[in-house]
Amino acid sequence: MNDRRTDTERARQEHWLTRYYFMRAAFSAVWVGLAFSIGQISPAAVAALLVVYPAWDALANYIDMSRAGGMAEGRIQAINVVISILTTIAVIVALRVDMSWVLGVFGDWAILSGLLQLGTAARRWKHFGAQWAMILSGAQSALAGAFFIVQARAAMPPVIARVAAYAAVGAIYFLVSALWLSVSRMRRKAL
């Protein structure tokens, strides 16, 4: 009986995680579309998009943490929520100073949130498998963050284009993870 309850809970969590990854992929795809459209012509849109991105990450991590057992189970996600909130504030401040500062803030955030995402994915691997894309995404995020920091010191094209390319890669990782979990679940049901 206990195994059935455990299997039911695992299936429920896996279903949530699949929906969550699809939701993250969809948001990022819309954000990237806006960045490459209105973000190319409106400074106000650029500022709004750059603030919304880490704010959304904070909200998404909070929802995920809440659905995955709260702070007791999701300490890494709780840390990621705090870091994303602080990043949102730092982006607002950096926008008043210089766009290279904004890219530096995004670089620091990409490193920290990438490493935390890697930790979350490694923890989830034990329960759900299919986390290889999230592990790669976390590692890639940390590397991209270091690249952002280097670029912040050089002449560069608009920051929004750099962050949008980063977000597009993240959207692909979330989509791959969601599809991988969906296929895994369908294969298990077919057996």
Per-residue pLDDT for the chain (191 aa), expressed as one digit of tens each? 455 657 777 778 888 889 999 999 999 999 999 999 999 999 999 999 999 999 999 999 999 899 877 777 778 889 999 999 999 999 999 999 988 999 999 999 999 999 998 888 888 777 766 678 888 898 999 999 999 998 888 766 578 888 999 999 999 999 998 898 888 777 777 76
Q: How many CA atoms lie within 13 A of 88 on its CB side?
A: 17
pTM for the model stands at 0.87
| 34 in Cβ contact with 68 (< 8 Å) | no
Enumerate residues 6+ apart whose C-beta is below 8 A from 149: 103, 104, 107, 108, 111
The tokens of 156 are what?
């560069």
